[in-house]
Chains A and B, each alone.
Chain A
Amino acid sequence: MDQTPFLGHGVGLRRDHYQRICSEPTRCDWFEVISENYMRVGGRARAVLDKVRSDYPIILHGVSLSIGSSDPLNESYLKDLADLAAETEPAWVSDHLCWTGTGGHNAHDLLPIPHTEEALGHVVDRIRRVKDKVKRPFAIENVSSYMAYNGSQMPEWEFLTRIAEGADCGLLFDVNNIYVSGQNHGFDPREYMRALPGERIYQIHLAGHSDIGTLLLDTHDHAIIDPVWQLYEETIERFGPVSTLIEWDDHIPPFDRLEQECLRAGEIHRRALAARGGGASLPSERRGGPLRPPSEAVPV
């Protein structure tokens, strides 16, 4: 299993915040980058990515790997992802335990996989191939879901755990997603959390969601609610320090607001570690640094 550093607390890199992030230091320890937004992309977006990477650690987080699809793995996608990973040297690369399309088409959504032995073997094999291509530590994320399959043979937490162990990969544990899915499908998120192999959790996601009455939706457009903060604190108490990211992708607030959520996560993290009996963990020193010989400054 790959060894990954403790990065501290970070936020997603979003266009709305480019100017702020590049113009002065932030109180965030690292940034998560949506892989597809920077694959084969140049201009300002790439300049900002390079600038951020020179100052902070980053993670590449994808949405189109479609690891659970019955379609073959997209070799063009894997090459472009591997190229971006080689250029930007993320601490790890991640994507979702889902499928996004079939028949050569892409729904650009994270569709749930049935928890079957067939699907499990299929996904394990594909993750191993992805790891070989990308050549970085790789983590798979649990998704929120709004439907389930009658043919599922095991609970989601068992499915996720067996995939991580079979593929020897990490987990990106989305705490909001188990809260949302728990409400949507009637399971206890704490049972889910306690079943996970803590040593494989590279990263945690925290986010807000929407309540449409019948279901909760993982919309990433609200502040994190108290039950999700509580679940986060219990996760850290149980597993120890885990790099944590605040996701806020729609109705994006000013950066200062996002930074506040990041700092709050840090406070809760420290409190949880104290309750666990450990000292506060410090993130590794910022591991940005130039990827290439210094060149003329790129104004952003």
Chain B
Amino acid sequence: MTVPQNPQLKQLQGLVWKLITAPEGVQKGLADLAAKGDPAPEQLRKWIVSDAKLSAEGRLDVYANMYFYRLKDALLADYPKVAKIIGDDRFHNLVTDFLLVHPSKHYSLRFLGEPFPGFLAKHADAQEFPWLPDLAALEWAWGDAFQAENSPVLDRESLATLGPDQWAEVRFQLALGVRLVEASWDLDALWENTALVPERKRQALLVYREDDMAAFHVVPEEDIPALKAILAGQTFSDVCEAALHGDDMDASAQHAARILGELFAKQLISSYNV
């Protein structure tokens, strides 16, 4: 295939993208492409200026370094505890692997790290530190809660006009950024001390924003099913059923109402519909 002297914009940008995102640098990336019969080396020679000051490869390497380290810094800001546990060298390699599979697709760097917990769950590092994916999920929820868009706060008094029949069908919407992180490890302890080997235990943490700061608390085990039902937008009737008190409907309703009351107290409920 003949390489044109004057490429179209899309061709040119495609070449630059391939080379600046090559995981081992521009030169290795060029060699790998050449080995596959890709015209990239000839394209580079024809399309990018090389001069006495610096070669085209050298100039692209500047962008390649900036690409990787800018994104690595963003992921480090999102997952400082994960990075601390595995150390800088392994975090560097983890980021390299991550970016190959999940290059940024959003206009904001804020969302680059969203797939990271799921990616980590399938990565070799999770074999040595099996609590890492859960910790990453908590770190992500923490950052998301801090930055989430503002939501209106529902005044509990506005529910006073609801009749008993309507209550059964009420569905609540929680503030943006409120999330339940379900883990298989004691993340509460690990959050305070990343050097720990955490206890393996089922734990659910409710993450939210309070007074402009991210916060979380461990959800009592008996509250988890009802809380999940509320977060899923199920009816109050379903929430009571999830509250699990056998045939004692009064106890179920009181349990569900207590959980709702705690959410109202933290101003985490933004609206409802019937």
Contacts and interface: CB of A to CB of B under 8 A. Distances in A.
A118 interface: yes
Contact of A106 (B13, B56, B106, B150): B106
Contacts of B9: 68, 70, 113-114, 116, 118-119, 122
A105 B105 contact: yes
A259 interface: no
Interface stretch (A5-13, A40-48, A240-248): A40-48
B7 A103 contact: no
10 contacts: A43-B146, A76-B107, A77-B107, A104-B105, A109-B63, A111-B63, A150-B5, A214-B54, A215-B54, A215-B59
B45 to A, nearest CB: 9
Interface in B137-193: 146-151, 176-177
Contacts of B27: none
A85 to B, nearest CB: 15
A103 B14 contact: yes
The CB with the most chain A CB atoms within 10 A, among B67, B71, B112, B212, is that of B212
Interface of B: 5-10, 12-14, 16-17, 20-21, 46-49, 51, 53-54, 56, 58-60, 62-63, 66-67, 70-71, 74, 103-110, 112, 146-151, 176-177, 209, 212-213
B139 to A, nearest CB: 17
Nearest to B45: A150
B95 to A, nearest CB: 14
B48 A70 contact: no
Nearest to B148: A42
B246 to A, nearest CB: 41
Contacts of A36: 107-110
Interface in A23-54: 36-37, 39-47
- Chain A to chain B: the 7 pairs with minimum beta-carbon distance, closest first: A42-B150, A70-B10, A147-B59, A64-B107, A44-B212, A148-B49, A42-B149
Given A41-B149, A43-B147, A107-B67, A149 B48 contact: yes
Contacts of B213: 44
A173 B5 CA distance: 32
Contacts of B6: 116, 151
Given A114-B12, A147-B56, 9 more contacts: A43-B146, A43-B150, A101-B17, A102-B10, A107-B63, A116-B6, A151-B47, A214-B54, A215-B59
Given A147-B59, A215-B62, A217-B62, A186 B107 contact: no
A184 interface: yes
A41 B150 CA distance: 7
Contacts of A45: 147
Given A102-B13, A103-B14, A146 B105 contact: no
A235 B16 CA distance: 34
Which of B109, B147, B150, B176: most chain A CB closer than 10 A?
Answer: B147
A99 interface: yes
B56 to A, nearest CB: 7
Given A105-B17, A214-B53, A146 B212 contact: no
A94 interface: no
